[in-house]
Structure formats: C-alpha cells, structure tokens
Amino acid sequence: MASTQGLMIIADIGGYTTYMRTHRMSLAHVERQYVAHNLCPCGGCKEAEDLTLTFVAHVGEVATQRIRDRLKLVGTT
C-alpha cells in the first residue's frame, strides 16, 4: 500500500442518533418559512440546537485501500 502526505478530516454530529430516534420528523416541512426563521413549533426543530459538531483531523502519511468497489483513505503508522 503506497502512502503519501495528506489530510483526513472526519466530522461527527454529537447527539444525532438519539435525536433521530426521539424525533421521527419529516424532512419535508410544509411551512418551510417557519423552519428558515427558527419558528417551526415541532419538537425536532426546537431541539436541533442541542446537537454538537466535532472535527477530528489527521495530518501526515495516508494511503488508499480498496474495499470492494470503493477507494478508502486510511492513515498509516
């Protein structure tokens, strides 16, 4: 597996799984203007502010690994 210098960034939305289990909300709100102005009364929209966003970065040697028909970027040791 050949390696090269690179950067990998992984984003994690904290609380997303719990949020989605709790709120079976439709992605297509009928009244989008309420959502755009944070006025939507549904529980899912009100609790969206409780979600967090975390980034993890790896700078250094990276390599590619083929898994079936997909090419994955992996860190090296």
Q: Taking 80 as the threshold, does the pLDDT of residue 71 lie above it?
A: yes
pLDDT tens track for 32-58: 555 566 666 667 777 777 889 999 988
Specify the pLDDT at position 54: 94
pLDDT tens, 8-35? Answer: 888 999 988 877 776 665 555 545 555 5
SS (H, E, C) the chain: CCEEEEEEEEEEEECHHHHHHHCCCCCCCCCHHHHHCCCCCCHHHHHHHHCEEEEEEEEEEEEEEEECCEEEEEECC
Report field, pTM of the whole predicted structure over 0.85: no
pLDDT at 77 over 70: no
What residue ranges do the domains of the chain occupy?
3-75
